[in-house]
Amino acid sequence: MATQILMPALSPTMTEGKLARWLKNVGDDIKSGDIIAEIETDKATMEVEAADEGKLSAILVPEGTEGVAVNTPIAVLSVNGEAFTSAPVAAPVAAPAPVAAVAAAPVVVPVVAAPVADKDWGPTKPTTVREALRDAMALEMRRDGDVFLLGEEVAQYQGAYKISQGLLEEFGPRRVIDTPITEHGFTGMAVGAALNGLRPIVEFMTFNFAMQAMDQIINSAAKTLYMSGGQMGCPIVFRGPNGAASRVGAQHSQCYASWYAHVPGLKVVAPWSSADAKGLLRASIRDPNPVVFLENEILYGQTFDCPEDEDFILPIGKAKIERAGSHVTIVAFSIMVGVALEAAKQLAEQGIEAEVINLRTLRPLDTATVVESVKKTNRLVVVEEGWPFAGIGAEVAMQIIEHAFDWLDAPPMRVHGKDVPLPYAANLEKLALPQPSWVVDAVKKIV
Amino acid sequence: MAQAETRKRGKAKEPAVNQPDLMEAYRTMLLIRRFEEKAGQLYGMGLIGGFCHLYIGQEAVVTGMQMAAGEGDEVITSYRDHGHMLAAGMEARGVMAELTGRSGGYSRGKGGSMHMFSKEKNFFGGHGIVGAQVSLGNGLAFSNWYRGNDRVSLTYFGDGASNQGQVFESFNLAAMLKLPVVFIIENNKYGMGTAVDRASASHDLSKNGAPWGIPGMKVDGMDVVAVREAAEIAIGACRAGKGPYLLEVETYRYRGHSMSDPARYRTREEVQAMRTQHDCIESARHKLEGLGVEEAAFRAIDDEVKGIVQDAADFAQTSPEPDVAELWTDILVEG
């Protein structure tokens, strides 16, 4: 019984190579693992090991031959009567042909007739964003014993920004865990716990520090479901303040919205009001997927009316029209919703009625709500605190160009943080971050 | 926390093992080796793409560890993972079909050699980023700690990964919380092409957990019985609630780092010496012969293993490629 030895592929990209040297002669006995030949690829000279045992009965490609295609028979091995031998290959088995047609992406934008208005949750009470976030975590921790909070200073210190106030007292040190200042290690630990079915809430003191753990958020949390063929989900929330605070300099003042929104396998939420914070954090904790929950330090102390209902929750993936208007659509998220509303107020004094959309979720983006609005106003201004290049504003504008181009009466406009590391000096910092007047100016250019 | 201890397993005291257990270990190691040889062959034929890291030479490590593991203990490792999956009880067919990127693979063809999982067998991957699985393995242990069960996380990594910052962060967290995790450093002497003493200023990796009070032990990883004995001590300590344990298992890979490694950083004589004098399968066989096992019994195992591997190779070539609709599935859990 004879087995052909084929020209092997020795790297992920090799298609052919030079058969540099034979190290065995016809008639030699070959054992599995013996080096039989040397092959030169474009990268290196590699040794070919025999995978079968037997006697080398013929050399089909002499040494020195260049351009030998992968899978070409290069020698013949006589195999001495073993019951099982490694695949006697009569003809090279061709690698599977590349898929001819790539499957079409599922339709991303279900353009619904009209965005569903918020359900009426009944009476509200003035609540700070800080309290709303704390209440959301406490409610979900009471509801589900698998939910726990970990991060720097979340327990005994009651949170670096006092978001976790009272949680240690109520839930104890098993469920409210102070970590050392080691984002990479504790994020990985939390992701591992989520892969094993727990529901961690990871608090980053700020999202600037989450860069230390980026590999675990993207490569482990976001991709494992796909790479496991759907076996292993990762129900985890990464939360903390994102973007500029006040005079903390470039390393503590970055908006990561477009970084995370770029990644399939993640959901990205960016609340503005107390109701957003409470309703969306509850939904994020219950979500079976990894959710990046981008808060804002300046908003923590701001007070908004928030539903008192014990069951209050908001859906991920739904934007909210904060102010109706017919002349221009202003899209914003997080702290910029306030900037957009202030601009809308100033515009109204000048007779321009702006519709202000609070995106609430960045991935999946509620494109349908923006499309419906633009069909009404025919003009779009997107406001974000972060940098412009490949930012959320660029993405929203592109979605509208794709889905509502014919309704646009003017080019979409972007208002954004200046394309510089955020400066420390008070006057320079103010020059770098979007102000209501910038939004007013942008609107007036297209209305 | 117990004082850090470091012990060298000597050859003087031959640990006892019963014949059926050793025979089972021999079979598992042989299955891994024949599987990997076949994978190398299929790679050469262009049926396996991308990166493919073979475990040949290191079989005793995972085999000995898994013999001491209990039902429900979690396993997580790096990208040199085929042996771990077979030792964890995953089917050769499903592993090989994942290597060929077919729908019959454990990840339905969407993960490949480095990213395979089995929830059913508590195998948590298969991770492509050096060291990332160590903090994830800590998280598996954390979930056991949180739930108050007695399961242990077996977290494998190489000598290369042992220098990663997150590994030391994980040691600290595991020791702080007394997590039930066995950190298993498979020291195969080279992190890709860099010899361990050129990459690590620590000359005894079993002591790497000492600053955190994590007990460590150096183990002869070419001797499956020695590995199993060390594993029983380490896993037993974890199960007893004593916190993490570190094993440095000294082993050797015969093949290159991946398929495209010309292995110029070591001599052929060095590889040959390990193969001929320290091979884990050969030494298990000699022990079994000493216990009176006949040639026919070895032949039966050889035949069985070759049958399994050939069946896996056939399946991996006949299982269809994933449906094109699979491109868009498993990105998010719906609902």
Residues A384 and A285 in one domain: no
Boundary (domain end) residue, out of A307, A339, A366 = A307
What pLDDT does B318 receive?
A: 98
In tens, the pLDDT along B161-217 reads 999 999 999 999 999 999 999 999 999 999 999 999 999 999 999 999 999 999 999
What would the mean pLDDT of B10-26 be, rounded to a whole number?
74
In whole angstroms, what separates CA B319 from the centre of its chain? 26
Question: What is the C-alpha separation between A101 and A104, in angstroms, rounded?
Answer: 9
Name the average pLDDT for chain A.
Answer: 91
Residues of chain B with C-beta less than 8 angstroms from the C-beta of A179: 173
Residue A405 CB coordination number (10 Å): 9
Of A17-31, A278-292, A361-375, B88-102, the least confident: A17-31
Q: What is the DSSP string of A172-192?
A: -TTTEEE--S-HHHHHHHHHH
Of B106, B128, B306, the CB nearest to A229: B106
Give the Cα-Cα-Cα angle B274, B277, B279 (nearest 5 degrees): 65
**B138 vs A87, A188, A219: nearest CB:** A188
The reply to whether A53 and A191 lie within a common domain is no
Q: Two tokens at A216?
A: 């675990």
B107, B135, B333 member nearest A188 (Cβ): B135
Residue B239 sits at the chain A interface (C-beta within 8 Å): no
Q: Is A73 on the interface with B (CB under 8 A)?
A: no
Q: Judge whether B218 is closer than 8 Å to chain A, CB to CB.
A: no
> Rounded mean pLDDT of chain B?
94
Q: Is A173 a member of any domain?
A: yes
CB contacts, 8 Å: A195 with chain B: 124, 136, 139-140
Same domain, A160 and A295: yes
Between the alpha carbon of residue B298 and those of residues A54, B26, B61, the distances in Å are 20, 9, 21
Do residues A313 and A279 make contact, with C-beta atoms less than 8 angstroms apart? yes
What's the rounded mean pLDDT across residues A425-446? Answer: 97
A284 with A324, same domain: the answer is no
DSSP 3-state of A124: strand
Query: Do residues A250 and A344 both lie within one domain?
Result: no
Q: Which residues pair with A249 in a beta bridge?
A: none
Residue of B nearest to A92 (CA): B45
Which residues are paired to B153 by β-bridges? B74, B181
Both tokens assigned to A424: 């420390």
Could you tell me if A328 and A355 are in contact, meaning their C-beta atoms sit under 8 angstroms apart? yes
A259, A283, A307: which is the final residue of a domain? A307
Inspect the interface and report whether the beta carbons of B260 and A220 lie closer than 8 Å: no
What residues of A are in contact with residue B115 (Cβ under 8 Å)? 227-228
What residues of chain A lie within 8 A of the CB of B137, using their CB? 192
Q: Indicate if A261 and A408 belong to the same structural domain.
A: no
Q: Are strands A413-415 and A380-383 parallel, antiparallel or unpaired?
A: parallel
pLDDT in tens, A319-358: 999 999 999 999 999 999 999 999 999 999 999 999 999 9
Is A12–B40 a contact, with Cβ atoms under 8 angstroms apart? no
If DSSP codes are grouped into helix, strand and coil, which group holds residue A165? coil
> From the list A103, A192, A288, which residue is nearest B328 (CB)?
A103
* Interface check A284 vs B, CB under 8 A: no
Q: Burial, A293: exposed, middle or buried (Cβ in 10 Å; 0-12, 13-18, 19+)? A: buried
Chain B residues within an 8 Å CB radius of A45: 262
Q: Which of A78, A112, A140 finishes a domain?
A: A78
State pLDDT tens for residues A165-212: 999 999 999 999 999 999 999 999 999 999 999 999 999 999 999 999
Same domain assignment for residues A279 and A335: no
Domain CATH number, residue A46: 2.40.50.100
Contact residues, chain A, for B327 at CB < 8 Å: 102-103
Find the helix or strand (DSSP H, E) in which A279 lies: helix A274-286
Q: Which residue does chain B place closest to A71, by CA atoms?
A: B45
Chain B, nearest residue to A98 by Cα:
B321
Q: Does A315 touch chain B (CB under 8 A)?
A: no
Selecting from A6, A44, A219 the residue whose C-beta is nearest the C-beta of B44 gives A6
* Distance in angstroms (rounded) separating the CA atoms of residues A225 and A231: 6
Closest CA to A322 of A359, A284, A281, A375: A359
β-pairing, B153-158 vs A2-6, is unpaired
Do residues B314 and B40 make contact, with C-beta atoms less than 8 angstroms apart?
no
CB contact (8 A) between residue A192 and residue B76:
yes
Same domain, yes or no, for A186 and A291? yes
Q: Residue B262: which of A45, A94, A190 has the nearest Cβ?
A: A45
Residue A205 lies in a domain: yes
Q: Looking at residue A134, which CATH number applies to its domain?
A: 3.40.50.970
Please check the confidence at residue A120 and state whether its pLDDT lies above 60.
yes
CB neighbours of A177 closer than 8 A, spacing ≥ 6?
A148, A149, A150, A151, A154, A155, B177
Q: What does the pLDDT read at residue A269? A: 98
Distance CA A405, CA A412 (A): 10
DSSP β-ladder status, A291-295 and A267-269 = parallel
A385 DSSP 8-state letter: S
- Report whether pLDDT(A129) > 70: yes
C-alpha distance from A6 to closest chain B C-alpha (Å): 7
Strand arrangement of the beta sheet that strand B74-76 belongs to:
B6-8, B216-220, B245-250, B181-187, B153-158, B74-76
Rounded to whole angstroms, the Cα distance separating A308 from B203 reads 61
pLDDT average, residue stretch B249-258: 94
Pair A288, A236: CB distance under 8 Å: no
Q: Is the per-residue pLDDT at B7 higher than 70?
A: no
Where residue A329 sits, what CATH number does that domain have? 3.40.50.920
Looking at the complex, does the CB of residue B233 fall below 8 Å from at least one CB of chain A?
no
Nearest by CB to residue B136, choosing from A70, A101, A220, is: A220
3-state secondary structure chain B: CCCCCEEECCCCCCCCCCHHHHHHHHHHHHHHHHHHHHHHHHHHCCCCCCCCCCCCCCHHHHHHHHHHCCCCCEEECCCCCHHHHHHCCCCHHHHHHHHCCCCCCCCCCCCCCCCCCECCCCECCCCCCCCHHHHHHHHHHHHHHHHCCCCCEEEEEECCHHHCHHHHHHHHHHHHHCCCEEEEEEECCEECCEEHHHHCCCCCHHHCCHHHCCCEEEEECCCHHHHHHHHHHHHHHHHCCCCCEEEEEECCCCCCCCCCCCCCCCCHHHHHHHHHHHCHHHHHHHHHHHCCCCHHHHHHHHHHHHHHHHHHHHHHHHCCCCCHHHHHCCCCCCC
SS (H, E, C) B61-85: HHHHHHHHCCCCCEEECCCCCHHHH
C-beta atoms of B260 and A185 within 8 A: no
Beta-carbon separation of A71 and B107 below 8 A: no
B128 touches chain A (CB under 8 A): yes
Residue B16 has a pLDDT of: 62
Q: Would the CB atoms of A148 and B146 count as touching at under 8 Å?
A: yes
For residues A327 and A247, membership in a common domain is answered with no
Chain B neighbors of A9, CB-CB under 8 A: 43-46, 259
Closest by Cβ to A191, choosing from B47, B139, B329: B139
- Quote ipTM for the complex: 0.93
Smallest Cα distance from B47 to chain A, Å? 5
Report the pLDDT value the prediction gives residue B15, as an integer from 0 to 100. 52
d(CA B11, nearest CA chain A) in Å: 28
B309 half-sphere exposure, CB direction, 13 A CA radius: 28
Q: What is the structure's pLDDT at A104?
A: 57
- Determine, yes or no, domain membership for A225: yes
Give per-residue pLDDT as tens, A262-274. Answer: 999 999 999 999 9
How far is the CA of B73 from the CAs of B118, B176, B196, B322, in angstroms? 13, 21, 29, 31
Which of residues 63 through 92 in chain B touch A, CB cutoff 8 A? 74, 76
Q: Which of A85, A189, A234 should we substitute to test contact with B (largest number of B Cβ atoms within 10 Å)?
A: A189
Q: In chain A, which among 11-50 make CB contacts under 8 A with chain B? A: 11-12, 14, 32-33, 35, 41, 43-47, 49
**A93 lies in some domain:** no
* pLDDT for A78: 87
Instruction: Provide CATH code, domain B15-192+203-314.
Output: 3.40.50.970
DSSP A156: T
**pLDDT value for A4:** 86
Model confidence at A113: pLDDT above 50: no
Average pLDDT over residues B116-127: 97
Task: Flag if A188 and B310 touch (Cβ within 8 Å).
Answer: no
- Is A429 catalytic? The answer is no
pLDDT tens per residue across span A201-248: 999 999 999 999 999 999 999 999 999 999 999 999 999 999 999 999
Of the residues A140, A152, A183, A385, only one is catalytic, namely A183
Inter-residue contact B140 to B153 (CB < 8 Å):
yes
Inspect the interface and report whether the beta carbons of B119 and A231 lie closer than 8 Å.
yes
Q: What is the pLDDT of residues A34-66, one digit of tens each?
A: 788 988 877 777 888 787 788 899 999 999 999
Measured CA angle at A312 (ends A306, A317), to 5 deg: 95
Domain hosting residue A52, numbered range: 2-78
Name the catalytic one among A140, A152, A203, A252: A252
Count of pairs with CB atoms under 8 A, one residue in A, one in B: 227
A252 is catalytic: yes
Every domain of chain B and the residues it spans: 15-192+203-314
- Give the pLDDT confidence score for residue B262 in this predicted structure: 81
Task: Give pLDDT, residue A80.
Answer: 61
Q: What are phi and psi of B97, to 5 degrees?
A: -70, -25
Q: Within an 8 Å CB–CB cutoff, is residue B31 touching chain A?
A: no
Whether the CB-CB separation of B259 and A11 falls below 8 Å is answered with yes
